[in-house]
Chains A and B, each alone.
Chain A
């Protein structure tokens, strides 16, 4: 029989205001195995922990139940306290009477009853707890960064500067990401390329950074400190070592009808291409789908003109397998598709564009060489309308419920740049709210209004109607004047909502990292662990975690790097002893557990067993405890109940359920 101590925390008034803690103590003391029960204002404090230590010694406690906040908050705290007092840390259970109880209930009587039940469940579990011993695992001193945008580049640079090896895997032919598509950046209006390209060059030249462009993560196995990753290097059809980046192949390529991804489809590129002039690496790829040689077998112009002999039509995808200690996800974002927003006439008129397309138009290297012109007829616009929140803060399922966060600022930037360069162009912005928190952000927006005379109208646009003369009729409302507005415009710019890169779902699944309903990766704690995934060893950098502008992205990228460095700096990691174990006498050898194990921790072996006198060779499941992460998938899949999770055994869980239903 265990000797259990129950410690009920007030958490100031967080718990005590809604839960009658004295009553919880009183009821817990009646439970089987409980020899000590008390309450205290802040159990996690130095004084609270001393109370626990004192009780362990005086009452010879063998198990503890702490009724307090979420175990994610203080389980480690109390386990360490128990260990210092000589108790196995895995003899401690937390009854979460704050998040699961006091915070979500208003009625004291009801909340108290629930707190008692939660305490009872934890006591029932501790009665079946056994001491567990953690093991150790090694740390591979190399990090993987998935995504080569500004977030990935910054994280990689910070990790590499700290002395660790880093690999960047980038899906497209060049690093640079969304930032490389931008013209100017707020709030300082410095040129995006001018501040990004030096970082790209620095990353490429860094002795501890390896860059895999035109590559994708294919498979991830292992666990924190010891991930094994398969990277697919897609066939570039160009030898990276031989190519000099002279660009002749791109000039001579006869297939020039493919919409340029980099210029958002506003102009075309050749089938052999580098996405932009400053691409890193400056080695083109052949887009096999649009290459005449690959499609018809006839052509081969690029191979003929290449002085270096770098063109290799036979090149195949290559799988590289590498080991990593930490993985940083920096997969970034894209703008949402506008199929559902026909009212803005995006698909009907070339002069209705997204803000990202405007960035390309404004850029000197863009499709119009930086001249602001209508894409339909090349004429300079006189009236421009910007529509904010297209798909952001959206109440229906066409768009996103969240605020994309960057649109207010870049729209002010666009408006200001246009008014500065083309003072004869009138700029009108329709907005729901203007949100400009951030250093020098509101000043920036006010400059657009006050200094540059941008016309801001609070209200939404209901419809954009292309007119026979090529103009766009914008129907909107002015909520402050309470009137309808009909306005003719030459160009309409949509501040399109951003969403996480669609590939992130696949990556999150491979990493067993959780994502929210909007496909943003979930952080371990919204406030206290914002750059870590709940999955150990996985860190989050940039917009993959939530909408961010460049300064925030760079700050988060650095934070993610620090967390990764903190992990890589460790020689050994303590492993979680709560791993699965198979009872050989119950195992059927059916392989169901191995099929569901996401960590590849289960293998089978033929072994002789002695089942109550019957000696026979059986096919049995064996768990590699170094690989097992204790997710418990096998224990529920196992039809015979042979698989059990140490620390969360079937009996312990049933005992908890029984205690709750009693």
Chain B
């Protein structure tokens, strides 16, 4: 096992750790919201750090894919500023939450961390690599100078994976999360300072899969979604991780509505749950992909949201939720150029 690794997890880039440590020591921030090692090499988990000593457990590597924006809702209620590390795509969610008055910009100190694409252990497993013990190559190597400059290509980096069946290798680019292949770009939309280099990992069409489904017959579509959604175990992970699903009390948990009971009474309750959820986040979803990342059943939940995004783009003009905190949202604003409801209806 490499030195400085915790549970097989690579540590954090020195420039980042030093800066965080200074900000905490100066008292600029009261706490740090980052990651600590999980029980395996590939599952670091979000964590708060309140002292410099605690930062010895701070981790930031290729597996730190979690979008920490949603944590800032609760962090906004705490005394003092919370330092949060946000990747470029996470900042869209933060902006959207700002727009909805759910987070307090004054309570956040945002370090825009460089991102060269985040790793997905499921992708590694899909390549037939099982019994993983440790992974080398997920650590981030940042130059001290020039944050925001381009990292070299993904193809050059190789993950070395030690498994109970021996050592395997895999190019970094082949182990990326789905969302990284449709990356929104290297630019952080909101931050206090930037640390680390990024690279654009986009190599696929964001709507290609949606288009494939659109081309299906209604029966095929129904069969596709029934097949996918029947895997749902209603663990609520997608809802709990989703930055747009930030209601104080979810309609599915409230006795004020009949929706929870209704969902349970239906033999195909998951359909109801996921469709209602997709409607509730329509126009607000930034397409951060967390729902699909956390789904233990591997359901491509982001497809629902992406269908809404594609429709919104086509009907009301291209719109990216969270691009800034000021724009009017297309579904909750009106202008004379808006599509007539009849047109929306005709599209089915």
Contact = CB atoms under 8 A, between A and B. Distances in A.
Decide whether A and B assemble into one complex. yes
Interface string A571-589: 0000000000001011111
A590 B99 CA distance: 8
Contacts of A654: 257-258, 262
Interface string B259-296: 00010000000000000000011001000000000000
Interface string B62-93: 00000000000000010000000000000000
Nearest to B280: A639
A583 B329 contact: no
Interface string B237-253: 00000000011111100
Contact of B336 (A506, A583, A587): A506
Given A588-B247, A640-B247, A641-B254, A595 B329 contact: yes
B212 interface: no
B217 interface: no
A207 B252 CA distance: 62
Contact of B332 (A506, A586, A596, A640): A596
A591 interface: yes
Contacts of A595: 328-329, 332-333
A505 B251 CA distance: 37
A586 B247 contact: yes
A162 interface: no
A576 B266 CA distance: 37
Contacts of B328: 595
B144 interface: no
B143 interface: no
Given A641-B251, A641-B257, A588 B336 contact: no
A592 interface: yes
Given A591-B100, A641-B256, A651-B257, A585 B248 contact: yes
Given A586-B254, A639-B280, A592 B100 contact: yes
A616 interface: yes
A590 B100 contact: yes
Contacts of B100: 588-592
B105 interface: no
B20 to A, nearest CB: 29
Main secondary structure of the interface of B (DSSP, over half): loop
Contact of A589 (B77, B101, B334): B101
A611 B247 CA distance: 14
Contact of A619 (B101, B262, B280, B284): B101
B206 interface: no
Interface in A410-435: none
Nearest to A583: B256
Contacts of A588: 100, 102, 246-248
Interface in A584-608: 585-592, 595-596, 604
Nearest to B332: A595
A276 B332 CA distance: 45
Contacts of B102: 588-590
Nearest to B335: A509
A640 B256 contact: no
Contacts of B331: 637
Contacts of A658: 258
Contacts of A475: none
A128 B101 CA distance: 34
A650 interface: yes
Contacts of B280: 639
Nearest to B333: A595
Given A586-B256, A596-B332, A640 B77 contact: no
B249 A640 contact: yes
B77, B101, B102, B328: residue with the most chain A Cβ atoms closer than 10 Å: B101
B262 to A, nearest CB: 8
A27 to B, nearest CB: 24
Nearest to A587: B248
B210 to A, nearest CB: 23
Interface string A497-518: 0000000011001000000000
Contacts of B333: 595-596
A256 B105 CA distance: 59
A585 B247 CA distance: 11
B77 A616 contact: yes
Contact of B257 (A509, A604, A650): A650
A650 B251 CA distance: 12
B249, B280, B331: residue with the most chain A Cβ atoms closer than 10 Å: B249
Given A640-B249, A654-B262, 8 more contacts: A505-B336, A586-B256, A590-B101, A590-B102, A591-B101, A595-B332, A639-B247, A658-B258
Interface of A: 505-506, 509, 583, 585-592, 595-596, 604, 611, 616, 619, 637, 639-641, 650-651, 654, 658
29 contacts: A506-B336, A583-B256, A585-B248, A585-B249, A586-B247, A586-B256, A587-B248, A588-B100, A588-B246, A589-B100, A589-B101, A589-B102, A590-B100, A592-B100, A592-B329, A592-B332, A595-B328, A595-B333, A596-B333, A604-B101, A611-B248, A616-B77, A619-B101, A640-B251, A641-B251, A641-B254, A650-B257, A651-B257, A658-B258
